[in-house]
């Protein structure tokens, strides 16, 4: 049995190749893929050759145990149906719809411990956003937004929009988002942002609320993937505030102006990444609990609002070219499999 697999073969080169798929081992299931979502941030870094080759792709995901050297199979948001199970796997897994942190390909085997059952009633295209929703939950855990705080989110791509939707459920005083694409700003406001503005806007003007005494954001998120936005996020944050950096810049460098107010500001810069849970929370939180909250978050949004394009896997190169060259047209892109 074979599978159609997406390979990054060089800078801005994507190929779909046939790959043999062996029968599942005793503790595995074989999954027939329905859809897989492209993660625009990380996958575009790979597509553009902007990641360190010697760096592990993801040590916490079995299917991504290699590094970023071409040719590379990548992806971590696949939804499909179990079509065969190994000898030691409970029969109720057979025919179950599942999510897997697995590269883009039409069929694969995985340990059942690495599969996540998709709740009834959740469309497969929405379920493909689970990894992005889990990331948004992780950002909320790391940022710990408090009642009455003023929050700014830089970047309204897929993860940024899901983060905005999640933050809207907190009793914060103001939620301002920043993005250079008008379509994303409109969607952001529909998800709960009080206002969404282009880069360069005077943020304090939108944080005033009724009091008119804003002195910067209490909490800012940098999720745009643009290193220049980190400087803007720091500048928009008030005394003793916090900036959560969820973007991964790969080999892009961030030039920061830390020679002015920053030195006396006591602003905290916090890196945030979904592969791990902050030790401060790990006594009470594990991955399963975080996934449960992510499913709940997805149940409260209309997944189709995030997905602008569905592309057959055979045309995967067009999907990446779209995200790379025409970001104003695309937010969420999924690959489909017949």
First and final C-alpha spacing in the chain: 15
Alpha carbon of residue 332 to chain centroid? 10
- Whether residue 269 is predicted with pLDDT greater than 60 in this model: the reply is yes
Q: Does domain 132-271 have CATH number 3.40.190.10?
A: no
Give the Cα separation of 83 and 19 in Å (integer).
Answer: 18
Give the Cα separation of 159 and 157 in Å (integer).
Answer: 6
Q: What is the mean pLDDT of residues 110-117?
A: 96
- Whether residue 64 is predicted with pLDDT greater than 60 in this model: the reply is no
At 222, is the secondary structure helix, strand, or coil? Answer: strand
Q: CB of 144 within 8 A of CB of 172? A: no
Q: CA dihedral in degrees (146, 147, 150, 154; nearest 10)?
A: 50
Q: Which run of H or E residues covers position 170? A: none
The answer to whether the peptide bond before residue 298 is cis (omega within 30 degrees of 0) is no
The residues facing 117 across adjacent strands are 98
Token reading at 70: 């071409």
Strands 150-154 and 217-222: parallel
Q: What is the chain's mean pLDDT, rounded?
A: 92
Q: What is the pLDDT of residue 256?
A: 85
Place of tokens 């009633």: 121
- Whether residue 230 is predicted with pLDDT greater than 90 in this model: the reply is yes
- Whether residue 66 is predicted with pLDDT greater than 80 in this model: the reply is no
At 146, is the secondary structure helix, strand, or coil? Answer: coil
Domain with CATH 3.40.50.720 in the chain: 132-271
- Whether residue 58 is predicted with pLDDT greater than 80 in this model: the reply is no
- Whether residue 65 is predicted with pLDDT greater than 80 in this model: the reply is no
Q: What is the pLDDT of residue 47?
A: 96
Give the Cα separation of 218 and 239 in Å (integer).
Answer: 8
- Whether residue 56 is predicted with pLDDT greater than 70 in this model: the reply is no
Residue 160: half-sphere exposure toward Cβ, Cα within 13 Å: 33
pLDDT in tens, 172-228: 999 999 999 999 999 999 999 999 999 999 998 898 755 556 689 999 999 999 999
According to CATH, the superfamily of the domain at 2-129+306-336 is Medium-chain alcohol dehydrogenases, catalytic domain (3.90.180.10)
Give the Cα separation of 210 and 8 in Å (integer).
Answer: 51
Supply the pTM of this predicted model.
0.92
Domain with CATH 3.90.180.10 in the chain: 2-129+306-336
Residue 8: half-sphere exposure toward Cβ, Cα within 13 Å: 28
Q: What is the pLDDT of residue 257?
A: 83
The residues facing 151 across adjacent strands are 175, 219
- Whether residue 126 is predicted with pLDDT greater than 60 in this model: the reply is yes
Q: What is the mean pLDDT of residues 18-45?
A: 96
Phi first, then psi: give them for residue 194, nearest 5 degrees: -65, -35
The residues facing 73 across adjacent strands are 7
Q: What is the pLDDT of residue 296?
A: 95
Alpha carbon of residue 233 to chain centroid? 19
Q: CB of 229 within 8 A of CB of 256? A: no
**Which of the 8 DSSP states describes residue 337?**
-
What is 235-258 written as a DSSP string? HHEEEEEEEEE----TT-------
- Whether residue 261 is predicted with pLDDT greater than 90 in this model: the reply is no
- Model confidence at 43, pLDDT cuts 50, 70, 90, reads very high
Percent of the chain with pLDDT strictly greater than 70: 94
Residue 264: half-sphere exposure toward Cβ, Cα within 13 Å: 2
Give the Cα separation of 152 and 141 in Å (integer).
Answer: 16
């Amino acid at each position: 049995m074979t599978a159609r697999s997406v390979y990054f073969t060089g800078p801005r080169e994507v190929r779909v190749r046939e790959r043999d798929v062996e029968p599942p081992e005793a503790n595995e299931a074989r999954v027939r893929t329905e859809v897989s979502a492209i993660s625009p941030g990380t996958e575009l870094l790979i597509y553009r050759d902007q990641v360190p080759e010697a760096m592990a792709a993801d040590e916490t995901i079995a299917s991504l145990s290699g590094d970023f050297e071409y040719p590379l199979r990548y992806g971590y948001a696949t939804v499909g149906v179990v079509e065969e199970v190994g000898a030691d796997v409970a029969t109720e897994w057979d025919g179950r719809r599942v999510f897997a942190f697995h590269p883009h390909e039409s069929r694969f085997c995985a340990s059942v411990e690495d599969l996540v059952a998709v709740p009834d009633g959740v469309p497969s295209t929405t379920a493909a956003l689970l990894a992005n929703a889990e990331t948004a939950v992780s950002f909320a855990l790391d940022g710990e937004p408090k009642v009455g705080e003023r929050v700014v989110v830089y970047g309204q791509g897929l993860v940024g929009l899901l983060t905005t939707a999640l933050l809207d459920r907190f009793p914060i005083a103001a939620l301002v988002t920043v993005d250079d694409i008008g379509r994303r700003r409109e969607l952001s406001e529909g998800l709960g942002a009080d206002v969404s503005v282009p880069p360069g806007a005077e943020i304090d003007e939108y944080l005033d609320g009724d009091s008119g005494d804003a002195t910067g954001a209490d909490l800012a998120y940098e999720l745009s993937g643009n290193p220049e936005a980190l400087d803007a996020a720091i500048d928009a944050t008030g005394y003793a505030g916090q900036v959560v950096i969820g973007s991964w810049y790969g080999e892009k460098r961030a030039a920061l102006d830390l020679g002015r107010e920053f030195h006396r500001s006591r602003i905290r810069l916090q890196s945030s990444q979904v592969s791990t849970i902050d030790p401060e929370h790990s006594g009470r939180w594990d991955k399963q609990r975080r996934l449960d909250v992510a499913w709940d978050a997805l149940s409260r949004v209309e997944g189709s609002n995030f997905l602008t394009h569905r592309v057959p896997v055979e045309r995967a190169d067009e999907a990446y070219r779209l995200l790379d060259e025409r970001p104003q047209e695309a937010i969420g892109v999924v690959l489909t499999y017949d």
